[in-house]
Amino acid sequence: MNPILSEQELIRREKLTELEAAGIDPYPAALYPVSHYSADIKAGFSPDDAAQFANVCVAGRIMSINDKGKVFFIKIQDSRGIIQLYVRRDDLYPGEDKQEWDVLIKRGLDLGDFIGCKGYVFVTKTGETSIHAQNLTLLAKSLKPLPVVKRDEDGHVYDEVTDPEFKYRQRYADLVVNPDVKKIFLQRTKLVNTIRQFLNERGAIEVDTPVLQPIPGGATARPFGTHHNALDVPMFMRIANELYLKRLIVGGFDWVYEFSRNFRNEGMDRTHNPEFTVLEWYTAYKDYYWMMEVTEQLFETIALALHGTTAVKLGDKIIDYKAPFKRVTIFDAVKEHTGIDISHMNEDELRAVCGQLHIDVHASMGKGKLIDAIFGATSEHKYIQPTFIMDYPIEMSPLTKKHRSKPGLVERFELMVNGKELANAYTELNDPIDQRQRFEDQLRLMERGDDEAMFIDQDFLRALSYGMPPTSGIGIGIDRLCMFMLDQVSIQDVLLFPMMRPENFGE
């Protein structure tokens, strides 16, 4: 069943029919030879050097039409900005036959249409750099009106569409009418490229690992399941790429990284999306102390690349990514903010503390999850400036090496910024016997009803048995990092197509 068309959509379809009847193809397939972009023309043109712009070819989407009878002023938006076209009937159609002017220009064009223009650049009497059209071509007819926004005389939006339902479902239209949205995603690309350059310059190798996995390993999370028909086996969308990257360290790579698209079948809020991007890297012969220093350098580099300063605005706060970052153990953090020392408590004592602090817990939660719940409820949100929370209990970290000097702890840190985790890093566990025991502990948690507990990955244990050198690894949430570096309050604002409930189109 086709969707019901609005009155404006019906009118545009009538125009489409008239164009086709006049022999004008509303969707031509031929190559259109764009030679210049709006921003380049505006930045480079001067009347004293007009010869360089005597023959330009531009293309873009119509954003405004000003009909002056035999002259039209049309503003088009290309990928770099907006520029005005001066379209005069007698220049385009110098003969007596003006039918195409009437069909195409007078009646056929709408906001949102794509057109191409060939002509020369000049400055109007009002001082606006424009293109005097000598040829105009319809490149694609828009059958649906763009959302209405308000723009100033230069075409800049000052009253944008802000409805989240529209913005996230119809990102393609949001990008057209809200230029600042596009800037966010261009900055996101710059952020990712800055990270790549940082790692590549230090000798890291970018790799790809499987998205479909027989075992959802490398993190404690609820996976998405599917079925592989050819092999007739259940499969899972990856929740992390950690175990595959560490296999590569076993295989002889010294430093590998991957921008990993991960999938976790869990809740959604302003800082979580079920499909998300994580950067993970693993480096041989390093530990978590080294990783802290490199992480500080990376975040400082990103801030400088995007903003020219380490002091970055985030809402009403200024976050300073200047190294070094503060370092606090997880037990000291809890003690500082609750006055309670939980460092030597058993599971029953931790449950009692949760009750005392009115923290909801479940019978399936073991010691590690109880400690995590206490820290999350009482302390995590207190760390606004970049802070390494370090030295976690062994029960919280089944893939992490035991601490070299603190029994019962592991060599792990999480980077907290604005009260949220931005990175998670370890000195990696490379003892296959210890790793098997940790997996078995996770299996017992699964039997208690913990649907986020880890599976036993027998192949990873086999890989470790061949020997993995001392290694440090880290995972950094790219979407949340973009939020914080680009001053966005919701993860949906840094995802081009965030997860949403499917629409009902009445079919």
User: Model confidence over 148-202: pLDDT tens digits?
Assistant: 766 666 656 555 677 888 899 999 999 999 889 999 999 999 999 999 999 999 9
The per-residue pLDDT for 202 is 97
The per-residue pLDDT for 353 is 96
Place of tokens 């890093």: 425
The per-residue pLDDT for 445 is 77
Q: Quote the tokens at residue 321.
A: 């990514």
Residue ranges covered by each domain of the chain: 7-146, 181-325+385-494, 328-379
* CATH architecture, range 181-325+385-494: 2-Layer Sandwich (3.30)
**7-146 is classed CATH 1.20.140.10:** no
What is the CA 119 to chain-centroid distance, rounded? 39
The per-residue pLDDT for 327 is 98
In contact, 243 and 438? CB cutoff 8 Å: no
The per-residue pLDDT for 82 is 95
Positions in the chain short of pLDDT 70 = 1-2, 149-160, 451-453, 506-507
Q: Quote the tokens at residue 97.
A: 């036959």
Looking at 160-272, which runs of residues are DSSP E strands? 205-206, 212-213, 225-228, 233-237, 255-263
The per-residue pLDDT for 183 is 95
Quote the DSSP letter at residue 388.
E
Count other C-beta atoms under 10 Å from residue 247's C-beta: 21
**Closest residue by Cα to residue 470 from 417, 426, 428:** 428
β-bridge mates for residue 272, sequence order: 269
Q: How far apart are the first and last CA of the chain?
A: 5
Torsion of CA 282, 216, 207, 301, to 10 degrees: -50
The per-residue pLDDT for 455 is 77
The per-residue pLDDT for 453 is 67
What is the CA 41 to chain-centroid distance, rounded? 31
Burial per residue of 324-335, b for 16 or more beta-carbon CB atoms within 10 angstroms, e otherwise: ebeebbbbbbbb
The per-residue pLDDT for 452 is 65
* 0.75 exceeded by pTM: yes
Torsion of CA 338, 344, 345, 347, to 10 degrees: 130
In contact, 54 and 142? CB cutoff 8 Å: no
The per-residue pLDDT for 89 is 95
